Amino acid sequence: MSANPQQKTTADPGAVDLELLRKYDVAGPRYTSYPTAAHFHEDVDAQAVVPRLEQSDCDSPVSVYVHLPFCRKLCWYCACTKIITKDSQRAADYLVALDKEMQLKAAVIGRRPVVQLHLGGGTPTFLSAAQIRQLGESIRRHFNVTPGVEASVEIDPRECDEEKVNALAEAGFRRASLGVQDVDPRVQEAIGRVQPMELNTKAVRLLRARGFESVNVDLIYGLPHQTPETYAQTLDRVLTLQPERFAIYSYAHVPWVNAAQKNLERVGLPAAEVKLRLLKYIIERLVDAGYVYIGMDHFARPEDELARALRENSLQRNFQGYSTHAGVEIVGLGMSAISQSEDLYYQNTKDLEVYSARVEEGHWPVVRGCQLSAEDRIRRGVINEIMCRARIDFAAISARLGIDFSAYFKDELAALAPFVDDGLVDLGPGELRITDRGRLFVRNIAMTFDAHLSGEGERRYSQTV
């Protein structure tokens, strides 16, 4: 697992400069889309969406995302759309509504091949083994799931047993993402998520035994009681699981979105300086352990598909994060789920009762979204290059987008001067290249090309570090 420190791994950011982390620690989008979901509006509804999808290429592939919102217990840090309940009947009723939504959308999407499938939450493993099988059967009954589909599921090790893992494997899932966050008992108590390390180890053992090919571990930094010393122990213990990927997120403190996060304020959050040191340690530790720094919060083994996509310049970014599938539309199912096509984003209602009632009446539960303008699509293309390629070839992108890049973005290129001065961006003849150390600041660099930012980001977005 360890790497030769003399051999620089792909996208190794090198030594992390704390002064630069301080300088660029501002609020900004994560760019899982452009424009971001903060710019969705209610002018986009089912009446606007359905006719556009009916005109789609019937052979073009799609990615299906299913949102399963139920959690048995509230984790105080979480700002996701969720429903806290111990009533399994609510999940049973929800699966009936999901089946009806699938029927409605399949009637428009037809038999387009499904090349990606993801169950997110909430807690997908809140479902019983029988309910997991039921969901898998619904998906395959309504959609054309390809034999080689990349099927992944988010797993809470506290809600994971052999029967559920068997059901997931039977439904075709071979990738799993484990919510761990931290293994320190004091941190777990402070965030309302007690999860002994033994549960994580057991979950990985079960997954490997059933042939799961890829395991990702989700961690968070910036939580109460975390220090570089405690985080060193957390990483040492989690590395024993030998995951193919890590997603290590900066804790986003947005109590105006999730009031439960105020519980963390009572315990006390790490000072900004501590959080910056945590980030520095995480990156240097995982790169030294042989992982490739993909970008933002993601790390992967060199042989992993994400790392290969990074090397081959085929990495993509969408509402599900980094992806290896370019140009694939996303079909979102379930309350709050977001769908994505070439020039349209649309989102289901976040209200469970409204969602269930709409699909029961035979209506798509879409309530908001965003129609992309020609300008949006151009800027999205540029931001995707920054987030996924760390390089822009002016001639190539000009030809692809039908513009003169240097002229179109004259002001933005001039505004990159601070990044150039700090050694984060190289501007050469016909090329913009983000340096290895600059990869830590791709969100900040991408913000230069964002026409929708207007100083309101502080209450909309999390910190970039």
Dump pLDDT digits (tens) for 377-431. 999 999 999 999 889 999 999 999 999 999 999 999 999 999 999 999 999 989 9
Annotated ligand binding at 32? The verdict is no
Q: For residues 423 and 13, what is the distance between their CA atoms, to the nearest angstrom?
A: 12
**462 exposed, middle or buried (CB, 10 Å; 0-12, 13-18, 19+)?**
buried
Of 13, 393, 397, 306, the residue nearest 314 (C-alpha): 306
- Which token pair is 389? 């390629």
Annotated ligand binding at 79? The verdict is yes
> Where in the chain are the domains?
38-332, 374-460
Question: What is residue 197's predicted lDDT score, i.e. its pLDDT?
Answer: 98
- Sequence-distant (6+) residues with CB within 8 A of 198 are none
Annotated ligand binding at 160? The verdict is no
Question: What is residue 459's predicted lDDT score, i.e. its pLDDT?
Answer: 52
Annotated ligand binding at 6? The verdict is no
Annotated ligand binding at 78? The verdict is yes
> Which residues make beta-bridge pairs with 344?
341, 371
| Predicted TM-score (pTM) above 0.75 | yes
**DSSP notation for 73-140:** S--TT--S--EE---HHHHHHHHHHHHHHHHHHHHHHTT-EEEEEEEEES-GGGS-HHHHHHHHHHHH
Annotated ligand binding at 122? The verdict is yes
- DSSP, res 451: T
Annotated ligand binding at 376? The verdict is no
Annotated ligand binding at 294? The verdict is no
Q: For residues 137 and 183, what is the distance between their CA atoms, to the nearest angstrom?
A: 35
Annotated ligand binding at 463? The verdict is no
| Helices 272-288/228-239 angle, 10° precision | 30
- Which token pair is 221? 């930094």
Per-residue pLDDT of the chain (465 residues; tens, 9 = 90+): 333 333 333 445 556 677 888 888 888 888 989 998 888 999 888 888 888 787 777 789 999 999 999 999 999 999 889 999 999 999 999 999 999 999 999 999 888 999 999 999 999 999 999 999 999 999 999 999 999 999 999 999 999 999 999 999 999 999 999 999 999 999 999 999 999 999 999 999 999 999 999 999 999 999 999 999 999 999 999 999 999 999 999 998 888 888 999 999 999 999 888 888 898 899 999 999 999 999 888 999 999 999 999 898 888 888 777 888 777 899 999 999 999 988 899 999 999 999 999 999 999 999 999 999 999 999 999 999 999 988 999 999 999 999 999 999 999 999 999 999 999 999 998 999 999 889 889 999 999 999 998 655 445 677 776
Pick the CATH number of 374-460 from 1.10.287.1080, 1.10.10.920, 3.20.190.10, 1.10.760.10: 1.10.10.920
Q: For residues 248 and 185, what is the distance between their CA atoms, to the nearest angstrom?
A: 18
Dump pLDDT digits (tens) for 323-353. 887 778 999 999 999 999 888 999 999 999 9
Q: Tokens 């509006």 — which residue?
A: 41
Annotated ligand binding at 110? The verdict is no
Question: What is residue 14's predicted lDDT score, i.e. its pLDDT?
Answer: 54
Q: Are 358 and 336 in contact (CB under 8 A)?
A: no
Question: What is residue 165's predicted lDDT score, i.e. its pLDDT?
Answer: 98
Q: For residues 232 and 190, what is the distance between their CA atoms, to the nearest angstrom?
A: 19
- Which token pair is 324? 């290896």
For Cα atoms 441, 445, 451, give the angle at the middle one, nearest 5 degrees. Answer: 140
- Sequence-distant (6+) residues with CB within 8 A of 35 are 345, 370, 372, 376, 452
- Tell me whether strands 391-393 and 344-348 are parallel, antiparallel or unpaired: unpaired
Q: For residues 283 and 219, what is the distance between their CA atoms, to the nearest angstrom?
A: 13
Q: Could you count the other beta carbons within 10 Å of the beta carbon of residue 429? A: 5
Pick the CATH number of 38-332 from 3.20.20.70, 1.25.40.10, 1.10.150.110, 3.30.300.30: 3.20.20.70
Cis link prior to 122 (omega < 30° from 0)? yes
Q: For residues 158 and 196, what is the distance between their CA atoms, to the nearest angstrom?
A: 9
Q: For residues 266 and 281, what is the distance between their CA atoms, to the nearest angstrom?
A: 26
- 53: helix, coil or strand? helix
User: Residue 7 corresponds to which amino acid?
Assistant: Q
Question: What is residue 3's predicted lDDT score, i.e. its pLDDT?
Answer: 37
- Which token pair is 38? 């903060």
- DSSP, res 27: B
Total residues belonging to the chain: 465
Annotated ligand binding at 218? The verdict is yes
Q: How many CA atoms lie within 13 A of 31 on its CB side?
A: 32
Q: Are 212 and 242 in contact (CB under 8 A)?
A: no
